[in-house]
Structures are given as C-alpha cells and as structure tokens.
Amino acid sequence: MTQAMHEDKIKRLYHIKKLSEEGGGPERISAQHSKGKLTARERISLLLDQDSFVEIDKYVIHRNDDPSTKTYFGDGVLTGFGTIDGRKVFVYVYDFTVLGGSLGEMAGKKIVKVMDHALKVGVPIIGILDSGGARIQEGVVSLDGYGDIFYRNTLASGIIPQITASIGPCAGGAVYSPAMTDFIIMVEHIGQMFVTGPEVVHEVLGQEVSFEELGGAITHASKSGVAHFVAKDEYACIDKIKKLLSYIPQNNSEFPPIVNTGDDPNRIDSALASILPENPYEQYDMKQIVKTIVDDGDFFEIHELFAENVIVGFARMGGRSIGIVANQPLYLAGALDIHSSNKAARFIRFCDCYNIPIVTLVDTPGYLPGTDQEHNGIIRHGSKLLYSYCEASVPKITCIIGKAYGGAYIAMGSKNLRADVNFAWPTAEIAVLGPEAAITIIHRRDLKKSEDLAKTKKALAKEYREKFANPYIAAEKGIIDLVIDPMETRPMIIRALDTLSTKREIHPWKKHGNINL
Ligand code: HXC
C-alpha cells in the first residue's frame, strides 16, 4: 500500500540512480573498455568484499555554470566505504568516463569527505586514479580541491595507511596526492603519472618523449622510485592492494594482524650458510636468505625495480608482520647510495608509523664513493637512513651476515642507532674499512717495500680479515649481542620478536623532527 503511494518518488530515485551509475554514459564506458581499462564501478567490485560497498555522494552534481553542458551525477569520482577481507576501508575511485576523471570542485569535496571519515574512524583509505588532473573549465575551484586533498593527505600521514593505484593517466594535480600517500601501485601500459604531459614537454623543451617513457609504470618503478609496485594488469593491481593491507594495521594505534602461517617458528635450515659464498668477492642473492628465514618463503617486496642494492618489503615470522631491510650484494656489491638510502629510510619510517618490527640483514662494503654520489648529495640522503633508524621505536633486530664496514655498518641498524637485538653470523666482517682499503693505509710502508706487491697485498688482507674483520671484537664489546650459527637465524629472530612485542620507548616531546629531506 505504502509502496504504491510513493511509487513516483521511488521511481525518481531509481531513475537518478541509473543515471549516476552510467557515469559518462554507454559510449564513454565502451571507450574505457576499448582502452583495456575497467570502469570505476568494476574496479570497486573487484576491490571490495561482495555487497560491502556503500556509495556516498552518489547524487552530487558538478558545478555547472554553463547550462548547455550535460549534468553528470557523481562528478567523476565514486566515493564510499566497504570492507576488504572483512576489514573496513574508505575508497575514492576516479571515473574517467566523466570529463576524463578531472577534478572539479564537487569531486574535491567528495574525496575530502571520505578522507575525513577514514581519519575519524581510523581505517585505511584507498584511492584509484584515472584522471586528467584539475578540471580546466572550473578553474581555481578545482585547484582548491587539490589543496584540500593535499592537506588531508598530510593530516592522515602516520595515522591511517593511504594507498593509491594509478590505473590510467594521472596528470597535473592528480600526481601529488598519490605522492603524499604511503604506497603507489601502477598498472603496466595503463598507469601514467606526470606533472606535465609529452605535449607540454615538447613545447617547452623541444623534447620528444612518449607517455610511457615519460611517466609509465616501469619508468616510475625503476627510475624515479615514485611507484612502489608494478602490476601487470588491473586484477594483479587489486590483488597487490589486498596483500599489502594484510601486513599492516588499520591505524597507528593498532598492531598488524597476526596470521597463523603454519610454518614452524623453530625451523632451522642447515643450507643457510652455504648461500653465502666462501669468497667474499663473489656475488650472491640476499633474497635467498630472506626467503629461507621468513614464514613459508613468502616475501612481499616493495620497490623491487628501484635501487636494487637494497631490498625492502614485508614478510611474516612466527605469524607476525615484519619489515625486512637488507643489502643486496648482487647490485653494486650491496653498497649504499642515494637512492637506496632514500628507499630504505622511507620504508623504515612507514614500519615505525604502523608498529611493524624491522628486521635488518647486513652485507655491505660501505657507502658508494664518487663525484656523482657526492655532488648529488649522498651526505644529505645517506643521513636519512641514519635518522630513520634512530627515530624508529618499533622492535629492531639486526643480523650481520657478511661485510659491515664503516659508516654503512652504523647505518644498517647498528646498536648505536637503537637496534634492540644485534646478531652476527660467524662470517660477519665488522671493521672501519674493508681489508683492501685498510692495508693501503696501515701498511703503506710494507707495501712500498714489497717486491711482489700482489702477493704482499693478499697476505696482508688475509691477516687483516682474521685480526679485525670478524664478529668477535664487536661481540667482546657487547655491540653484537650474540654470534649465531646461520642455521638458527629464523628461530633466534622469532624469539627476539616475541620478546620485543611489548617494547615501549618514550621520546622527549617535540613538535616534529627535522629529517634532512
Ligand atoms: C577537463 C578534461 C581534462 C581536464 C581530460 N579532459 N582532461 N576535461 N579538464 N584536465 C576531458 C577531455 O577533454 C575529453 O573530453 C575527456 O576528458 C577524455 O580525454 P581524452 O583526451 O580524450 O583522453 P585520452 O586521449 O585518454 O587522454 C587523457 C589525458 C589527456 C592524457 C589525461 O586528456 C590530457 O592530457 N588531459 C590534460 C592533462 C593536463 O594537462 N592536466 C593538467 C591540469 S592542471 P571530450 O568531451 O573531448 O571527450 C593541474 C594543476 C593542478 O592539474 C596543480 C595542483 C598542484
């Protein structure tokens, strides 16, 4: 009876609901599909648990000062909340079918609303970008929208995880908000990020560059470091978002979920020592060691293609989420440089924000020398690594596997940077300088006198290694807590993680530190 009475009103609702759900209309939807892209609604249904999405501001219309232009409900962005694997999230997903997903005044207000909600509720916010940037027709109010979003990104930083996926063009203002979030995932051949597009580059600089080369997924994952992950398609991108969320808590006052992985915490592996070559100049893959010690060999690597001389990523040990930071001797012999310092520092700071313990595996000959590094600011960038380890109050466990020389020994989670538990393998070489550099200084006279220089150098380096480049001098001084058999690395780290899980560290009050950006 009541239904019949209000039939017209209910019909009207379904009419505008349909219009809103059509976005830019059937033609634009098929254009989106023909570019190999899913629509905003299809993306949301992949991302969120079935039937969990509650869309808000579905009937917001764009600022329309020109009555001859078409009215679009939703204003080019879908916003709302739902769950992923049962955990609450807020989302905003740009709809390229409406005015190229450009950000107008009302779209800006919609995004700000869900960001405010996510911050109050204390849950992650996920943005999917496919946007032409500031809506040109709306002028300054669209710039206003970006400004408001940037402010929310900053407020939310360190309180709730913020994740962005670039599944389409992200131009102009559309790139800076992602850059202020914690993680960016780009889809190969579809995601593009640039402040100014190829046409402007050509006009201003006369340079010819393709979209892909300028700001494609591989460019940003390998050269600029803007993208933390590359996904081969949209489905893989959504899977990565879900996996990433599984390692992290809902907000900074919670701990990450503990997962029963079924992998025995006491599992030892006698093959571990043999991964490290006898000859310290031979290369090996540190990822093999990482995969051997973590639960089920499951290592979720971040920045896989960027600054490969350091490895960072999430894993679980004894079911607990951990952040791994490790030197990679396969690249630059594991030396630290500008990019790797930035990469590791940012990751450490993320882990520290969200109560994720840091496990550091060390094998580095030092900081990379040279004019290129010095002139581009290795002092400034390298110091960020020191700063972020010192600042981090989460449990920190370090294990020195091979070389740990000079400043890089200190930087890679040393005791002085407030690591809680420091292990070393018997193969660790902890000293001020590597043997070759050290002997040229302390044995200068012997080398000058030598008749067979190569032979003398070899003998002196051997003597130096035995005398200085081992873990026992550090262990005698308590700088290393324990020298362990490589095969017991996993159980020892897990025991330390369990014990440190209730660690609390109080810092003197300050507004915020002044990291050397
Ligand atoms: C209004 C826009 C738009 C924009 C795209 N469209 N970008 N409308 N404002 N910023 C519209 C197009 O006019 C077109 O409408 C529809 O969206 C689809 O765009 P196409 O160009 O047909 O699509 P495609 O070939 O896939 O190219 C996508 C694109 C390109 C690479 C994003 O549209 C582009 O270069 N747009 C401009 C990018 C840009 O310079 N943005 C910077 C804005 S300034 P019709 O109706 O014709 O189909 C900015 C500053 C903020 O963001 C700074 C804050 C710090």
Tell me which residues of the chain have a pLDDT lower than 70. 1-3, 65-68
Answer yes or no: same fold for 10-247 and 272-433+470-500: yes
E strand spans, 132-253: 162-171, 183-187, 192-194, 229-231
- Residue 68: per-residue pLDDT: 67
**Three-state secondary-structure class, residue 167:** strand
Compute the distance between CA of residue 149 and CA of residue 144 in angstroms, rounded to an integer: 9
Q: What is the pLDDT of residues 454-502, one digit of tens each?
A: 898 989 988 888 888 899 999 999 999 999 999 999 999 999 999 999 9
Residue 323 Cβ inside 6 Å of ligand 1? The answer reads no
**Nearest protein CA to atom 8 of ligand 1, as residue:** 99
pTM of the model: 0.94
- Ligand 1 pocket test: pick from 69, 75, 102 the residue with the most ligand atoms within 8 Å of its Cβ: 102
State phi, psi for 161 to the nearest 5 degrees.
-65, 140
For residue 100, report the distance from its CA to the centre of ligand 1, in Å: 6
Catalytic residue among 172, 215, 366, 413, which? 172
- Residue 213: per-residue pLDDT: 95
Closest atom of ligand 1 relative to the 35 alpha carbon = 26
Residue 150 Cβ inside 6 Å of ligand 1? The answer reads no
Catalytic residue among 217, 221, 345, 408, which? 408
Q: Tell me if residue 191 is catalytic.
A: no
Residue 98 Cβ inside 6 Å of ligand 1? The answer reads no
**Nearest protein CA to atom 46 of ligand 1, as residue:** 99
Q: Tell me if residue 133 is catalytic.
A: no
For residue 147, report the distance from its CA to the centre of ligand 1, in Å: 19
- Ligand 1 pocket test: pick from 70, 99, 189 the residue with the most ligand atoms within 8 Å of its Cβ: 99
Compute the distance between CA of residue 91 and CA of residue 57 in angstroms, rounded to an integer: 12
Q: What is the pLDDT of residues 362-407, one digit of tens each?
A: 999 999 999 999 999 999 999 999 999 999 999 999 999 999 999 9
CATH topology of domain 10-247: 2-enoyl-CoA Hydratase; Chain A, domain 1 (3.90.226)
For residue 174, report the distance from its CA to the centre of ligand 1, in Å: 11
For residue 1, report the distance from its CA to the centre of ligand 1, in Å: 49
Q: What is the pLDDT of residues 395-423, one digit of tens each?
A: 999 999 999 999 999 999 999 999 999 99
For residue 380, report the distance from its CA to the centre of ligand 1, in Å: 37
Residue 169 Cβ inside 6 Å of ligand 1? The answer reads yes
Number of Cα atoms under 13 Å in the Cβ half of residue 220: 31
How many Cβ atoms sit within 10 Å of the Cβ of residue 44?
Answer: 22
Output the CA torsion sign for 64, 68, 70, 71. positive
How many Cβ atoms sit within 10 Å of the Cβ of residue 159?
Answer: 15
For residue 165, report the distance from its CA to the centre of ligand 1, in Å: 18
Residue 172 Cβ inside 6 Å of ligand 1? The answer reads yes
Output the CA torsion sign for 496, 313, 505, 124. negative
Give the angle 253-298-317 at the CA atoms, nearest 5°. Answer: 50
C-alpha distances (whole Å) from 88 to each of 121, 129, 236, 277, 438 are: 9, 20, 21, 47, 56
Domain ranges of the chain: 10-247, 272-433+470-500, 435-468
E strand spans, 415-484: 421-424, 429-431, 482-483
E strand spans, 62-187: 77-84, 87-94, 125-131, 162-171, 183-187
Q: Tell me if residue 173 is catalytic.
A: yes
Residue 198 Cβ inside 6 Å of ligand 1? The answer reads no
CATH number, span 272-433+470-500: 3.90.226.10
Q: Tell me if residue 40 is catalytic.
A: no
